Amino acid sequence: MGVREKIKTNIRRNLNRDYLRRLLGILARKPVLYAYGTTFSSCSDKYLNIFTIENIRDSYDARKPVVFGSLFLPYELFHALGTVPFLPEVMAGFTAGLGLADQTLKKASSSWYSQDLCTFHRSASGAVEMDLFPDPAFIVCTNLACDAAQKSFYHYALTYGIEKKYHLLDVPYDNDRDSVKYLAGQLERLAGSISRDTGQEIDRERFARTIELSNQFREYALKINDIRRRLTLYPQNFNGLNLILPFHGLAGTENAVRLYRSIYRELKDLLLEQEKKGQAKKPRKILWMHLKPYYRTEIFDLIKDGGCIVAAEEINNVYWPRLDPEKPFESLALKMLSHPLTGKASNRIKALGEMIDSHGIDGGILFTHWGCRQSNGSTRLIKDFFRSKKIPVLVLDGDCVDRTNSSEGQIKTRLQGFIEILR
Amino acid sequence: MNRKNSVDDYFQPGGKEAGDQKRIGWFCTYVPEEIMLAGGFEPVRLMGEKRLRTSESYFPINFCPYLKSGWESLMGPRENLAAAVFTNSCDGMRRLYDMAEYYLQDTPLFMLDVPRNTYPDSVDFYSLQLKKMLGFIEGLKGSSIDEEDLLHAAEICDRKRSRLQELSGSFFREGGGIDIPDYYRLMELSATAGTEAFLEGIDDLMDNVAAAGNDNSGGPRVMIVGNFITEEKLWHMFSELDMKIAADDLCISSRYYENTVGAGRGCSRKEILDLLAKRYLHKPACMRMAHTGAKLEEIKAKVRDRGIQGVIFISLKFCDTMLYSFPLVRKEMAEMKVPVLYLEIEYNNFSEGQLKTRTQAFLEML
């Protein structure tokens, strides 16, 4: 059994908050962390894991106020305010990866969460009920993309007894001047509220620096996407769908810049190598839509073995314009309003179309995660769109967190058939 | 119910004019009927086709059955439907609008952006959205809508709400001389029969029901909490059981008629829109709103004030905002020592035997 498997087994055996805090305290010590880092096969994978552990450790060690946040918030705001963001939905993905989801989902069911609900939220809710997460000082969520967070996060606020520290950033439907003003006002009010409660004034210089770091991260993310348009060789275990936490939760930090810079350099070297070597047969390029299963799955091995690569993921699309440090609230509002999952499905489809064209995509895979009404409700429109572009698309029904709710055999058969078509 | 055979008999739209009036379909109680009425259109809530033929192929299997029914009806003949107004009330409704926008290109559609917060800036923002809706209706009408039109429409809608509040108060308190299926049919008609036709019929109906005695009077005092529940069979089932509905919190009743606009003479267009925004954002909330705590307080207040002994929480399947709210409602009710029964139904399809047995057992426990 390798180190990582041993860690997972120990977490499963000693599942409680104190154990997690102690473990993170040990793992996040510099020598241990860098020794642990050497177990990863690529530089980008190493930094991804190290920065993820550091972020989670910071949220458990309670030195700074912890903000529970839903996925699509502009995390620059929380970094600028000196708080530590903690993303329960991302943690739900970890519960799947660590093999804990059966326990958290069971707890959620016994707490009356319906099995028809999204398992990212159900698993996180189960973890809250089991008291596995650190104590939050604030709970902030948004209706951007879906309805689930605003409801489940309110429940967290009640559970932790901080109902008055619950905030919903109410993202309007259209991206226009009125919407930017309304949302920027909410962001400013939220910043004021957090700053009052933590007793720390909003540091304008720090805010500007955070915005600048976010812009640097954005530039690297754009460069990475640009390289991936031509790249067909990837580092071992590279999977763009693992980048959710840094892409969202670490935006505006040094670590995000360091991680994206290291990914950029690694991919750039590979591109040079690829160009030097030349390639006999170009792999077929797949655009991955929505998220992936976060437990062990054969899906990506099958894609690779079938001579295909995931050349782009919907979640790594850099959709927002450069942020203006002089107008931080307006910029962050615009970032949220620019998200393709805000408003009409045609916004999402337009973004997919741009990714298809710029990456030369040969096929699309839409993973329809059980209970994700916002994404799955557009399936028909997305299929029709791909058909209009004469590009095959595969709709894979499954569950990103609960492996018992996905039919591995059926997914495999359908995926193999799809790969046959692409070849 | 006497004199006339059914509730529907009281609300037959009369004359050629009523039949010819252009209708605008709406789905959600956050859409102000006032603006459509002010434009000379008849607002009609789209109840959806209960029998699905093709809409299943447009939406996933685990998707709101009401929205699928709504889509079925929009795909069918849309005689006299000048337009349809949607809201971004939930993920499902946004996707329904997308479908309509893509596949129904011959029907004018409007998406009304309804905030989830109720702070003063949310009300201001909503007022701006109502102004956009007003512009849309003016476009359909081909001329502008002035404050007189808006005031008149607001006054009519307030009158309708007052009558519904009066009738409902009587139904929940004393039984009101109207049985459960008729009461909820009346609630449906209040949003579908045509505003003038409804106002004409309601007085006649109230005179008759007042004399008819109690029909919602026996058994334990129950509160119904739910979303878009229009299931006739379910209301009949409740009616057959020994229970009294003493309060509800439903999309088709209290969330529709409670609170009035109260616009007075001399109000400008903007002031009327502000009042509308305020009324709609502060009416009894749908579970989609941010302040779940305020929603829970509304429910708790009704439970306390009306001596509720048990709550029946009914949800159409796959309604996330309801499903996420249930654990909270249950927890709050447990603290008040009020038992809760959870029922889940499809639209026009539920297992009557099973639901009846569960409801009976619940009522016996009360």
* Chain B interface mutation, best of A128, A182, A337, highest count of B Cβ atoms under 10 Å: A182
State the fold for domain A3-204. Answer: Rossmann fold (3.40.50)
CA distance A355 to A313: 9
DSSP state of A403: G
Contact list in B for residue A377 (CB cut-off 8 A) is 59-60, 63, 91-92, 94-95, 98
Local confidence band at B339 (pLDDT 50, 70, 90 cut-offs): very high
pLDDT in tens, A279-335: 667 899 999 999 999 999 999 999 999 999 999 999 999 999 999 999 999 999 999
Contact list in B for residue A344 (CB cut-off 8 A) is 94, 97-98, 101, 111
DSSP state of A315: G
Tell me whether residues B321 and A121 touch, CB distance under 8 A.
no
pLDDT in tens, A371-414: 999 999 999 999 999 999 999 999 999 999 999 999 999 999 99
Query: Which residues on neighbouring strands pair with residue B44, listed in sequence order?
Result: B25
Contact list in B for residue A178 (CB cut-off 8 A) is 125, 128
Are B269 and B144 a contacting pair, CB within 8 Å? no
Cβ partners under 8 Å of residue B149, min gap 6: B38, B39, B40
Are B246 and B308 a contacting pair, CB within 8 Å? yes
Cβ partners under 8 Å of residue B195, min gap 6: B33, B37, B42, B43, B156, B157, B160
Q: Assess B64–A contact: CB distance below 8 Å, yes or no.
A: yes
pTM: 0.96
Tell me whether residues A178 and B125 touch, CB distance under 8 A.
yes
pLDDT at residue A97 in the model: 94
Tokens of B58: 């447009």
pLDDT in tens, B226-235: 999 999 999 9
pLDDT in tens, B291-311: 999 999 999 999 999 999 999
Binding-face residues of A in 3-32 toward B, CB within 8 A: none
Range B202-209 contact pairs with CB under 8 angstroms and sequence separation of 24 or more: B202/B10, B202/B160, B202/B163, B202/B164, B202/B167, B203/B163, B204/B10, B205/B7, B205/B10, B206/B163, B206/B166, B206/B167, B208/B1, B208/B2, B208/B3, B208/B4, B208/B177, B209/B1, B209/B167, B209/B176, B209/B177, B209/B178
Local confidence band at B15 (pLDDT 50, 70, 90 cut-offs): very low
Which amino acid belongs to residue B52? Answer: L
pLDDT at residue B343 in the model: 96
Could you state, in order of their start, the residue ranges of all structural domains in chain A? 3-204
Whether residue B156 has pLDDT greater than 70? yes
Cβ partners under 8 Å of residue A301, min gap 6: none
Among A249-263, B164-178, B331-345, the minimum mean pLDDT is found in B164-178
Q: Is the dihedral of CA A202, A208, A210, A211 positive or negative?
A: positive
The whole-number average pLDDT for the span B89-113 is: 96
pLDDT at residue B144 in the model: 98
Instruction: Name the residue among B238, B239, B244 with its Cα closest to residue B223.
Output: B244
Instruction: Name the residue among A41, A418, A416 with its Cα closest to residue A239.
Output: A41
A368 → closest Cβ in B60, B91, B115: B60
Whether residue A198 has pLDDT greater than 50? yes
Cβ partners under 8 Å of residue B293, min gap 6: A154, A158, A163
Whether residue B132 has pLDDT greater than 50? yes
Question: How far is A395 from chain B, CA to nearest CA, in Å?
Answer: 11
pLDDT over 70 percentage in chain A: 99
CA distance A370 to B332: 29
State the fold for domain B13-145. Answer: Rossmann fold (3.40.50)
Mean pLDDT, all residues of chain B: 92
Question: How far is B289 from chain A, CA to nearest CA, in Å?
Answer: 9
Are B109 and B86 a contacting pair, CB within 8 Å? yes
Tell me whether residues B117 and A158 touch, CB distance under 8 A.
no
Local confidence band at A5 (pLDDT 50, 70, 90 cut-offs): confident
Tokens of A31: 């020598």
The whole-number average pLDDT for the span A361-366 is: 98
Whether residue B243 has pLDDT greater than 50? yes
Local confidence band at A251 (pLDDT 50, 70, 90 cut-offs): very high
pLDDT at residue B212 in the model: 56
Cβ partners under 8 Å of residue B318, min gap 6: A116, A373, B62, B63, B64, B65, B92
B116 → closest Cβ in A112, A150, A368: A150
CA distance B14 to B194: 10
Phi-psi region of B289 (alpha: psi -120 to 50; beta: other; left: phi over 0): beta
Tokens of B66: 């009401």
Beta sheet of A393-398, edge-to-edge order: A308-313, A284-289, A363-369, A393-398
pLDDT at residue B351 in the model: 84
The whole-number average pLDDT for the span A17-30 is: 92
Calculate helix-pair angle for B147-174, B195-212, nearest 10 degrees.
20
Q: Considering only alpha carbons, which residue of chain B is nearest residue A171?
A: B115
Contact list in B for residue A172 (CB cut-off 8 A) is 113, 115, 125
